[in-house]
Amino acid sequence: MRIGLPRALLYFYFRPSLEYLDQENIAEILISSATNKRKLEQGLALCDEEVCLPVKVLMGHVHSLLEEVDALFVPRVISLEKKRYICPKFLGLPDMVRAGLGRKTPLIAPEINAGWSKSRQLREVAKSLRLLGVQPLKLWDALNRAEEVQKQHRRQLAVALDLPPAGKRVAVLGHAYNIFDEYLNFSILKKLSLLGMEPVTVGNFSRDQINQGACGLSKDLFWSYGRELVGAAFYCLNSRAVDGVILVASFGCGPDSLITEIIGRRFSDSPIPLMSIILDEHSSGIGLATRVEAFVDMLNWRDMA
C-alpha cells in the first residue's frame, strides 16, 4: 500500500522526521514533487477562491498524488503545544480536501492534539494507520526516533545566530510553507544569498531565544507558529542579531494579519528595517525581486552614509 504525502503546509515543518520515516520503510511513502505551475492551477480550480495560497497549493499536490497512491496523508492538526492552536484551517483540512476532491477520497487523517496524553495520541495514529498493518510497538518506536531526529535537526539549525555572519544577516520570517516553497516565494532565500546576505529563518532561533522574545507580548499568543514569528522578531529587535527583517505572509492569512501589525508597530521606531511581503497567486517574481534588491541596497547604503 502506497501513501501519498503532499509536499505542502506542515511538510515543511516536519521534513526531517518525515524523511526519516520514509527511509525507515514503515510504509511505502510517495512525497509529491516540488510545487509548479500545474499544481498551483489545479489547486486553484479545486479550492474555494477565498482560502489562502498554501491551502490552494496543498490541493494541487493532493490532486497530483491521487492517481499514484492508495491513500493520502492529511492529518487533522488541532494543536502541537498545550493550549495553543496553529491555524483554524488545519482543524478542518481533511474536510476541505474531501469537499474539493469528493467524499470518497481515501484519507489517512489522524487527529493530532497536544492536549491528549501520549498514549491516547499513539492510539489515534495507530488507528488511522491500521490499514498498513504496522505493529503499534514498531510504530511507537519509529515515531519516537523520528521525534529525536526532528529535535536534533532543530538544535543543529539553532546555532546559526551564534556563528559569525557571512555578510549582512537578514531574518526572513514567515510560515515554513511560504518560506521554503521556492515556487511560491520566487526563491527569496536564494536571492538574498546571491545578493551577499545571510538569510536566517524562524528555525535558526532557539526555543529560548523565541521565548525570550515572546515575553514582550502583552498577552501570550494562542497560535504556535504565530508566537514563534513574533518571538523571533522581538528577539531580533532586542539582541540586534540581524541587520534587517523581511516578513513573508500569504494574502488573507488570519493569524498573520495581526502578527504583521504587532511586529510592524514594535519595529516602527527601531533602527532595524522591516519589509512586509504578501504572497498570493497573482504575485510576480519580478516585483518581488525588485523589492528585495531595493531592501538589500538600502541595507548596504546605510553603512556608507
Per CB under 8 A, residues contacting another protein are 47-48, 50-52, 76, 78, 83-89, 91-92, 94-96, 98-100, 111, 217-219, 221-223, 251-258, 260-262, 265, 278
Q: How far is the CB of 94 from another protein (least distance, A)?
A: 7
Q: Which is nearer to another protein, 35 or 276 (CB)?
A: 276
Q: How far is the CB of 218 from another protein (least distance, A)?
A: 5
Q: How far is the CB of 76 from another protein (least distance, A)?
A: 7
Cα-Cα-Cα-Cα dihedral sign, residues 89, 93, 97, 102: negative
Q: Which is nearer to another protein, 196 or 254 (CB)?
A: 254
Q: How far is the CB of 239 from another protein (least distance, A)?
A: 22
Q: How far is the CB of 92 from another protein (least distance, A)?
A: 4
Q: Which is nearer to another protein, 183 or 222 (CB)?
A: 222
Q: Which is nearer to another protein, 98 or 154 (CB)?
A: 98
Assess contact for 205 and 263: CB atoms under 8 A: no
Q: Which is nearer to another protein, 46 or 210 (CB)?
A: 46
Q: How far is the CB of 86 from another protein (least distance, A)?
A: 8
| Phi, then psi, of 80 in degrees rounded to 5 | -115, -10
Q: Which is nearer to another protein, 264 or 285 (CB)?
A: 264
Task: Collect all residues with Cβ–Cβ distance below 8 Å to 29 and sequence separation of at least 6.
Answer: 2, 3, 5, 18, 21, 22
Q: Which is nearer to another protein, 20 or 90 (CB)?
A: 90
Counting Cα atoms < 13 Å in the Cβ hemisphere of 16 gives 14
Q: How far is the CB of 221 from another protein (least distance, A)?
A: 7
Q: How far is the CB of 49 from another protein (least distance, A)?
A: 9
Task: Collect all residues with Cβ–Cβ distance below 8 Å to 111 and sequence separation of at least 6.
Answer: 75, 76, 78, 124
Q: Which is nearer to another protein, 208 or 261 (CB)?
A: 261
Residue 60 CA to residue 233 CA, distance in Å, equals 32
Residue 37 CA to residue 251 CA, distance in Å, equals 18
| Phi, then psi, of 303 in degrees rounded to 5 | -70, -35
Task: Collect all residues with Cβ–Cβ distance below 8 Å to 284 and sequence separation of at least 6.
Answer: none
Q: How far is the CB of 301 from another protein (least distance, A)?
A: 28
Assess contact for 65 and 31: CB atoms under 8 A: no
Q: Which is nearer to another protein, 257 or 290 (CB)?
A: 257
**The residue count for the chain:** 305
